[in-house]
Amino acid sequence: CDALESSIVLTPVPTLAHPQDSRRFPCAEALLGPGGNHDATVSILDQDGNEHRFLVVCKVGQELPINRSLRLLLPNANWQGSVLVVKMGRRIAFTSMTASDKELATAALTK
């Protein structure tokens, strides 16, 4: 499982913050590049039945290289392009992801 753990990387995401309240918006384009990005909100239940929501943003295109990290994580995946998973909060739109969220984030990719 060492290869699996090393393929999951928590990366700081550039974020726009509203100057007068707690709204924050992740800038996926800063990591994935402009254009061709698609996003979806995915809900996952943990083992206790608690809901966790993730924003999954991906760049899609047959001309893009196979995502080798995703293939390590999900051996049957032949995904081409980059994927970004951001944890959504309960009181604020987006929140920091911790190491304990990795398994749930992986489940979000398979949904």
Domain that holds residue 87: 2-110
Per-residue pLDDT, 13: 80
Q: Answer yes or no: is pLDDT of 61 > 60.
A: yes
What's the pTM?
Answer: 0.78
Q: Is residue 16 within 8 Å of 28, Cβ to Cβ?
A: no
Nearest to 9 by CA among 85, 66, 64: 85
Q: Is residue 25 within 8 Å of 94, Cβ to Cβ?
A: yes
Q: What is the DSSP letter of 79?
A: -
Instruction: Report the number of distinct structural domains present in the chain.
Output: 1
Q: What is the mean pLDDT of residues 26-43?
A: 87
Q: Is residue 92 within 8 Å of 22, Cβ to Cβ?
A: yes
At residue 98 the predicted structure's pLDDT band, cuts being 50, 70 and 90, is: confident
